[in-house]
Amino acid sequence: MNTFISLLEDRVREVNSLLCVGLDPHPQDLPAPTAELACRFCLRLIESTSDLAAAYKPNAAFFEALGPEGFSALREVIAAVPDGLPVILDAKRGDIASTARAYAQAAFQILGANALTVNPYLGRDAVKPFLDDPAKGVFLLCKTSNPGSADLQDLQVKNLTKVLNPSQSLTVYEHVARLAQTWNKNDNLGLVVGATHPEALRRVRAVAPDVWILAPGVGAQGGDLQAALKAGLRNDGLGLLVPVSRGIARAEDPFQAAEELRATINREVKKIQESKVGSEQMPVASPHSRLSTPEYAELADALLVTGCVRFGEFTLKSGLLSPVYIDLRRLVAYPDLLAQVASVYLPLLQGLSFDHLAALPYAALPIATAVSLQGDWSMVYPRKEVKTYGTKAPIEGLYNPGERVVVIDDLTTTGGSKFEAIEKLATAGLRVRDVVVLIDRQSGAGVELEKRGYRLHAVFTLTELLDYWESVDRVPDEQISAVREFLELT
């Protein structure tokens, strides 16, 4: 499926550029405030910079101010952008769902933009119409570049991880970044975070390590390019678009100004990437591990604090004596932690194709319910004991034979309980391809599932958690060693 983010990343790699050229026909930049001159102004910029730009960002306000002719000029400007070069319409739309659908039609079908800036203040149902088409993108206003953004966006909200840090709260903009993770089902959602706020960029990147960020404010608004790149780049050196308008449009030679900007950005990206190699500031976990990000690391710590993972001597269902015990049933005592656990299932699920979640009783029922609420997915579950009364249904929930389900569980050991549940689901006519868990105990389940044609997806492996807890000195070395020896034996 061709998504907006794939279009953007293809273009970024093709021209080796993170530069987004703003198309803002300010009245003072025109001989006269007419739609025709505004159009010419933008077409000149496109012609000069199309070999250097990763994207274009026309500002709808400057065209709308010129009346019906201005709207026509905006459509002509967007149509002039070469194919394969994304156009992000800066219009900051946001309204109830029916109105949002009309705004989406205007931006994407009538004007021909590839993406749109959207205000999330009305919530998910008002954003969804803009996200329905994977080929069309949304940049959600998160932490805007203007000084007054602090009036609302810096307010404190309830911290989902208060089990660890009860005195620490999230800002509204961090909460928006977390919501974006759950709303990005079609790989077409990014965030707007001003380059004028490097600390906010850093915090958003920690909350949303993979999302693309549009970072306005470099140049006329005083944003520091180096600080913005350092705070907002992903680990792969991508993930941040730098929009510049007046710095290019008002230059004597727009091509040269854009070329110098692209070169400056690329030099800074290279320095930042090189400085990470061997740096003491690098995460203690492998850079390829989710535990290299603060959100996942904090979750791993919370599992210890709440006793969801304990070390000692425990008899497992199989009769084996284990030096570690994972009891995720305890999550029901910590609603905020349960919500956070559900949120880390979402990135795994967003890459899969299914009609329903299928929760395995009993530990996974609350987890899958929380995932269902956050991801807006239907849920079914096979009963452990089939009812002898009422409907006598072996599978609870609404479904049709032939539909696909993804199995949700808390952890895997040998895979035995998964096969029992899959057999019940298959008997009811449901198709299973994927199994998603929080923790893979690495006791053979993955291999057994693969042998039978199923794919296992785990947020964490037990080895990853051990490596992390050891590196931050959360668990005594002798207990870590005992578990590693146990894993080798089993």
**What residue type is 429 in one-letter code?**
G
C-alpha 364/C-alpha 360 separation (Å) is 5
Which of 276, 311, 341 is where one domain is finished?
A: 276
The DSSP H or E segment spanning 425 is helix 416-427
Query: Same domain for 255 and 123?
Result: yes
Place of tokens 């009811």: 428
Low-confidence residues of the chain: pLDDT under 50: 160-167, 278-288
pLDDT at position 318: 66
pLDDT tens readout for residues 318-343 = 677 889 999 999 999 999 899 999 99
Residue 285 in domain:
no
343 and 265 in a single domain? The answer is: no
Residue 214 inside a domain? The answer is: yes
The answer to whether residue 101 is domain-embedded is yes
CB atoms near residue 453 (< 10 Å): 8
Query: Does the active-site annotation cover 392?
Result: no
Strand partners, 321: 315
Tokens of 352: 């899969």
* Residue 445 DSSP SS3: helix
Q: Tokens for 64, please give them.
A: 């709308």
Residues 244 and 327 in one domain: no
Same domain, 269 and 337: no
* Distance of alpha carbon 205 from alpha carbon 13, whole angstroms: 21
Q: Which CATH number covers residue 224?
A: 3.20.20.70
Tokens 């051990």, residue located: 466
Residue that finishes a domain, picked among 242, 276, 310 = 276
Give the C-alpha separation, 96 to 128, whole Å: 10
Whether residue 281 lies inside any domain: the answer is no
Q: Within this chain, do residues 242 and 318 fall inside the same structural domain, yes or no? A: no
CATH number for the domain harbouring residue 389: 3.40.50.2020
Nearest-Å Rg of the Cα atoms of the chain is 25
For residues 263 and 139, state if they share a domain: yes
Q: What is the pLDDT of residue 443?
A: 81
Q: For residues 226 and 359, state if they share a domain.
A: no
- pLDDT value of residue 387: 65
Structural contact between residues 323 and 345, judged by C-beta atoms closer than 8 angstroms? no
Domain containing residue 233: 4-276
Q: What is the pLDDT of residue 393?
A: 81
Number of domains within the chain: 2
Same domain, 382 and 473: yes
- Does 426 lie in the same domain as 294? yes
Looking at the structure, tell me whether residues 271 and 296 fall in a common domain. no
Q: Is residue 282 part of a domain?
A: no
Q: Which of 400, 410, 218 is nearest to 331 (CA)?
A: 410
For residue 169, the model assigns a pLDDT of 64
Q: What contacts 74, CB < 8 A, 6 or more positions away?
A: 58, 60, 63, 64, 111
377: in domain: yes
Write down the catalytic residue from 92, 128, 162, 230: 92
| Farthest CA pair distance, the chain | 84
The two three-digit tokens of residue 194, written as one number? 């001003």
Cis peptide bond prior to 325, omega within 30° of 0: no
Domain boundary among 276, 305, 340: 276
Tokens 């997806």 map to which residue?
Answer: 457
Question: Is 406 contained in some domain?
Answer: yes
The answer to whether residues 304 and 249 belong to one domain is no
> Angle at the Cα of 263 (from 260 to 268), degrees rounded to 5?
125
- Decide if 114 contacts 78 (C-beta within 8 A): no
Q: For residues 139 and 211, state if they share a domain.
A: yes
- Residue at 317 is within a domain: yes
**What pLDDT does residue 277 have?**
63
Closest CA to 47 of 23, 19, 17: 23
